[in-house]
A and B are shown apart, each in its own frame.
Chain A
Amino acid sequence: MKRRQPGLRIVMLALTVVILIWTLFPVYYMVLLSLTPTNDLFQPALYIDHPTLRNYVYTMGQDNPFVRYFWRQLLTSLTVSLWTMVLVGAIAAMGSFAMARMKFRFRRYVSGLTLFTYVIPSSFLAIPFFQLMASYDLIDTKLALVLAMVTFATPYALWVLSDYARSLPPEIEEAGAIDGAGTVATFFYLYVPLIIPPLIAIGTYAFLYAWNEYLYALLLLTGEQHIPLPVAMSNFLTTDNAPWNLLMAVSTVYSIPPVILYYAFKRYLVSGLVSGAVSGT
C-alpha cells in the first residue's frame, strides 16, 4: 500500500472536505441563524455582516413571549435527566451484579426481557403508557417522564455495566467471602467501588437519553410551565411567525451540554453495543 500513498492522501483530503461540509453545515447554519439580527433573517446568506448576541440575551433574560419560561423549562429538562441518571445508575448497578457475577435460575429470562426492552421501539408503547399514566393521574408530573426514561435507558446501561463487570477478576467475591461479607455487603463495599468508571459513563448516557427525548415529553407534559425545553422549542413551530433566530439560539444552548458529554464519554457510549454484537456471534 505504501507506494500509492501520495495519491491516496489527496483523495482522502478531498473526501474529508466533502464529508466535513456535509457534517458541519447544518450545525454552522444553526449557529449562524442564532447570531442573525431579525432584520436580516429573511435575507438568506452563508455568512452574516452584523452578527449579534441579542437572541441569546433575549433567551437568558426571558425577554420574548416564546422564551417566557426558558429557565423553568431548562430546569425541568435538567431535573428529569438527573433523576433518570441516578435511578438508571442504581438499577443497572444492582442488575449487572446479578447478571455478571451470579449464576441464578431464570437468568436467561431476565436477559431476554432486558434485550426486548432495548430493541422494541419506545414509540410503540407510547399510547398505552400514556393511558397507564393517565389512570394513575400522573400526566403533567415529572415522575411520569422519569419512569418512561428510566425504563428505556436501563437496558443499554445494564448491557455496558454487565459487560464491564464480567471482565473483573473473581477475587472480589473471594475477598468478600474471606471477610465473611454477605452478598449485600460484597455488592456495596467491593463491587460498586470497582464499577465507578463505567457507572459514570452510563449515568451520562441515561442523562442524555432523557435530555434528548421528545415523544414521551410531548405526550406526558403539557402547559408552558411544565414542559421541558425540547417540547417548548417544537411549540415555536405551531405559529407562522416564529422567530427562527431566537429558536436557533435556544437550540444552540440546548445542544451544548450533550455535545460536551458525548465527546467526554464517547468511548463508553458505543462499547456495549460493539462487544454485545461481536461476542454474541
Chain B
Amino acid sequence: MSPTTREGGLAASSRVEVRPRARLPRFLRSTTLQGFAFTAPLLLLFSAFVLYPMLSGLYAATDPDSYRAIFGDPVFRQTVWNTLWYVVVAVNVKLVLALLLSGILDYPFLSIRVLAALFLIPWAIPALPGILSFRWALNSQWGIFNHLLTKFGFQSVPWLAQHDTALAFVIIFHIWKYLPFWTIIFLAGRRAIPNELYEAAAIDGGGIVQNFFSITFPLLKSLYLICTLLSMVFTLGDFTVPWLLTGGAPGDTTHVLATLAYRYTFAMGRLEWGLSTFAVALPITLLFIGMLMRWVKI
C-alpha cells in the first residue's frame, strides 16, 4: 500500500490518491486516531458497562467461602443440572427442528407461503406475553390443557407444580419462542446454496434424504455449528423464561443459573453468592465465546 493511501486513511479498498488536508496538524490526520475517534463512543460504552462490571464482579467473587457455600447448597446443585438440561436439550432440539423446518419452508406451495408468514409470530411477540399465555394454559385448575385432558377422560396434571413437567415446559416454551428465528437463519443459509448442485443431484436420481446428507448438511455445517454455540451461550444466561414461567417453583427446584443468582442476591441478600453463581459458568462461557470469536467476524 502506498503511503498516500495510508495517510488519507479512508480509501479502504480503493487505490485513488486521497489528498491529506493541509490545515490539520499531522497527528490529527493519523488513521489510528480517526478510527479511535469514530469508535470512541462504543469503546467507552463497552469498557464502562461490559468490561468493568465483569471484572468488578469477578473481583468480588474471589472469596472461596462463597463457592464452598453455594456448592454445599442443594438448590445450587439442582440448578446446575437444570441449566445443563435447559441449554443442551432446548438448544439442540430447537436447532434440529429449525434445520428441518427450513427445508419445508423452501417449498414454493401456497400453504407453505402462508405458513412462512404466520410462523414468525412467536418470534415477533415479546417473550413475556407468550410466557403468560403458557402459564395460564398450564394452570392446574383453570388451564385449557387440563380442561382438555379431563374432558377426554385423562387425569389432570399439575404441570408447573412438579419439577419434571415444569422444567419440560421451560424447554418447550424456549423452543416455541425461538424456533422461528433460527429457522429463518437456516432458510437464508439454504438459499445461499447454488441450485446447480441440486439439479446435478436430480440427474443422478438423488432423493430428498440423500440430497440433505450429501449437499445441504455439508454446506450448512459450519453455520449450524456457529448457531449452536451462539444459541447455547444465549440460553445459558436466560433469565426471563424460567423466572416468569416457574419462578423457581415448586420449592426452588426449577431454577437456572440466572434466576438463582437473582434469588441469592436480591431475595436472600447474598451478593457474593449471586456473583459466584455466574463465575462458575464463566469458564465454559468464555470457551464458547472464544470459539465463536475465531469463526465470526465483524
The interface of chain A, by Cβ under 8 A from chain B, is 1, 8-9, 12-13, 15-16, 19-20, 22-24, 26-27, 29-30, 33, 41-42, 44-46, 90-92, 94-95, 97-107, 110-117, 119-129, 131-132, 147-148, 150-151, 154-155, 158-159, 162, 170, 173-174, 176-177, 180, 182-183, 186-187, 211-212, 214-215, 219, 230, 233-234, 237, 244, 247-248, 251-252, 254-255, 258-259, 262-263, 266, 270-271, 273-274, 276-281
Do B122 and A26 touch (CB < 8 A)? yes
Beta-carbon contact of B42 and A91 below 8 Å:
yes
Please name the residue on chain B nearest to A11 by beta carbon.
B104
Contact present for B298 and A114 (CB under 8 Å):
yes
Closest CB-CB distance, A271 to chain B, in whole Å? 8
Indicate if the CB atoms of B142 and A41 lie closer than 8 Å. yes
CA distance A274 to B21 in the complex (A): 39
Of B127, B230, B282, which one neighbours A119 at CB under 8 angstroms?
A: B230
Are A270 and B181 touching (Cβ within 8 A)?
yes
Asked whether any CB of chain A lies closer than 8 Å to the CB of B19, the reply is yes
Whether the pair A186, B10 counts as a contact (CB closer than 8 A) is yes
Contacts of B117-166 to chain A: CB distance below 8 A: 118-130, 132-137, 141-144, 146-147
Note all chain B residues with C-beta closer than 8 A to A254.
126, 128-129
Q: How far is the CB of A261 from chain B (nearest CB, A)?
A: 8
18 pairs from A and B in contact (CB 8 Å cutoff): A13-B109, A16-B111, A23-B119, A26-B134, A41-B142, A95-B42, A103-B35, A106-B32, A120-B237, A121-B258, A124-B282, A155-B298, A173-B14, A174-B16, A255-B125, A270-B185, A277-B296, A281-B226
Q: A113-B50, A237-B244 are in contact. List 5 more A-B contacts (CB 8 A).
A: A19-B101, A30-B132, A102-B38, A104-B9, A211-B126
Tell whether, in the assembled complex, residue A115 and residue B292 are in contact, meaning their CB atoms are under 8 Å apart: yes
Q: What is the size category of the interface that chain B forms with chain A?
A: 35 or more
- Whether A263 contacts B124 in the complex (CB less than 8 A), given A19-B115, A44-B147, comes out as yes
Query: A-facing mask of B268-298, CB < 8 A → 1, else 0?
Result: 0001001100100110010011001101111
Which of A20, A33, A102, A116 interacts with B118 by CB under 8 Å? A20
Known: A12-B112, A247-B132, A274-B185. A128 touches B223 (CB 8 A): no
Across the interface, do B133 and A150 meet the contact criterion of CB distance under 8 Å? Answer: no
Most A C-beta atoms less than 10 A away, residue of B141, B180, B234: B234
Bound complex: CA A115 to CA B53 (Å): 17
Known contacts A110-B43, A123-B237; is-contact A173 B11 (Cβ 8 Å): yes
B109 touches A104 (CB 8 A): no
Residues of B within 8 A of A (CB): 6, 8-14, 16, 18-19, 21, 24, 31-32, 34-39, 41-43, 45-47, 49-54, 56-57, 60, 101, 104, 107, 109, 111-112, 114-115, 118-130, 132-137, 141-144, 146-147, 176, 180-181, 184-185, 188-189, 192, 202, 208, 222-223, 226-227, 230, 233-234, 236-240, 244, 247, 258, 261-262, 265-266, 271, 274-275, 278, 281-282, 285, 288-289, 292-293, 295-298
A120 to B282, CA, bound (A): 10
Q: How far is the CA of A40 from the CA of B57 in the complex (A)?
A: 49
B interface SS class: helix
B70 CB, nearest partner CB in chain A, Å: 14
A233/B127 contact (C-beta < 8 A), A120-B50, A151-B50, A278-B192 known? no
